[in-house]
């Protein structure tokens, strides 16, 4: 009995939580309504096929950046005057090929090396919101206009977080942001970056890095998008369009704050939020509310939130959540106002 329990425990640890959730959801759907489960599978496979060219392009962009060593250029942004550091960090965060998972070692290293919290906060807030992969997938699924708006929102929320944190630190706040004993894995990579090789294919090690990164990224995106499209099919089936119109439609004065408040605790992975937002837009959500929902959910996605909580003290974590909420509301109103004008 003990051996069986140990084997089951090991098997449980080997099961990917995202893939396991998808399989469990499909099993429950098959028991509840085989027809609904079949429709969900058909919807998911069709959506994955339609987005496949953009998915392959996005995977290639991220793998190229890793193999060429272009990610090492990020460290150069964290030097100079504080205002310049914040601006560069927000810009690099929005444009760099890092998801909320990939940026964690770099953030830990920067904090451990004593890089000022305002610059790190700017980078940390902007990075989960947008990257080249997400831009391609967002443009494919939701349109180029919303993808550009989300990119500008990432830069804006990074600048807001960086300068607001700088102002608080100038008044004595966050004197010791790091938790006691915080780890700094990845510090050596920042201290001694590899040279950039844009023609990486001439080096076997970099070719291996490209293949490995493409495989990891492809699996990561495939499992998250599969779950997301399956959830989208259920939303379209069960969520009434008139309810979305009442809560988050154009006639609601609190649509944008409501969308941000839903987005923060939703902890949606940025890629999973793309088809979810597409479904909500189809059901009547305003574009400004959609942007607020995506930004809030991306900044507070589970990997990003856990990384913040693990590395910094509780006041900094709560400040991070407050910036996510305030920044997403501000960008939502700015985008909706621009559309109205």
State mean pLDDT over 337-341: 87
Q: Which residue has the higher pLDDT, 33 or 279?
A: 33
77, 89 contact by CB (below 8 A): yes
Average pLDDT, the chain: 79
Share of the chain above pLDDT 70, in %: 74
264, 301 contact by CB (below 8 A): no
| pLDDT computed for residue 183 by the predictor | 45
Domain boundaries, the chain: 30-193+200-340
3-state class of 81 per DSSP?
A: coil
With bands split at pLDDT 50, 70 and 90, how would you rate the model's confidence at 184?
Answer: very low
Convert the pLDDT of each residue in 281-291 to its tens digit: 887 888 898 89
Asked if pLDDT for residue 124 goes beyond 50, the answer is yes
- pTM listed for this prediction: 0.67
Convert the pLDDT of each residue in 194-230 to its tens digit: 677 888 898 998 899 899 988 987 887 788 778 877 8
State mean pLDDT over 93-104: 67
With bands split at pLDDT 50, 70 and 90, how would you rate the model's confidence at 112?
Answer: low
Q: Which residue has the higher pLDDT, 156 or 13?
A: 156
Burial 307-329 (b: 16+ CB within 10 A, else e): bbbebbbeebbebbbebbbbbbb
User: Rounded to the nearest 5 degrees, what angle is found at the Cα of 196, between the Cα atoms of 191 and 201?
Assistant: 135
| pLDDT computed for residue 340 by the predictor | 85
Convert the pLDDT of each residue in 256-283 to its tens digit: 898 888 776 655 556 667 777 887 788 7
């Amino acid at each position: 009995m003990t051996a069986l329990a140990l084997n089951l425990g090991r098997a449980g640890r080997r099961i990917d939580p995202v893939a396991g959730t998808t399989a469990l959801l499909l099993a429950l759907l098959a028991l509840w309504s085989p027809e609904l489960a079949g429709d969900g599978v058909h919807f998911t496979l069709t959506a994955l096929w339609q987005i496949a060219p953009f998915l392959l392009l996005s995977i290639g962009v991220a793998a190229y950046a890793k193999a060429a060593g272009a990610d090492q250029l990020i460290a150069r942004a964290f030097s100079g005057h504080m205002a310049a550091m914040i601006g560069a960090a927000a810009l690099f965060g929005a444009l760099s090929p890092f998801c909320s998972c990939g940026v964690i070692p770099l953030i830990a290293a920067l904090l451990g090396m004593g890089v000022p919290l305002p610059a790190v906060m700017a980078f940390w807030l902007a990075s989960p919101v947008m990257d080249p992969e997400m831009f391609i997938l967002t443009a494919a699924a939701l349109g180029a206009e919303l993808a550009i708006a989300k990119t500008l929102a990432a830069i804006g929320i990074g600048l807001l977080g960086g300068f607001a944190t700088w102002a608080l630190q100038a008044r004595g706040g966050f004197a010791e942001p790091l938790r006691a004993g915080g780890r700094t894995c990845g510090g050596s990579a920042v201290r001694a970056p590899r040279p950039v090789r844009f023609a990486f294919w001439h080096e076997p090690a970099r070719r291996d890095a490209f293949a490995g990164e493409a495989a990891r990224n492809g699996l990561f995106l495939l499992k998250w998008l599969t779950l997301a499209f399956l959830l989208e099919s259920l939303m379209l089936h069960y969520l009434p369009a008139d309810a979305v119109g009442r809560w988050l439609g154009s006639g609601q004065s609190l649509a944008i704050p409501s969308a941000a408040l839903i987005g923060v605790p939703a902890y949606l992975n940025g890629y999973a939020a793309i088809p979810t937002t597409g479904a909500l837009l189809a059901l009547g959500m305003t574009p400004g509310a959609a942007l607020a929902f995506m930004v809030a959910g991306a900044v507070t996605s589970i990997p990003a939130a856990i990384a913040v909580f693990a590395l910094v003290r509780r006041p900094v974590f709560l400040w991070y959540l407050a910036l996510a909420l305030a920044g997403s509301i501000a960008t939502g109103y700015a985008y909706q106002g621009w559309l109205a004008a």
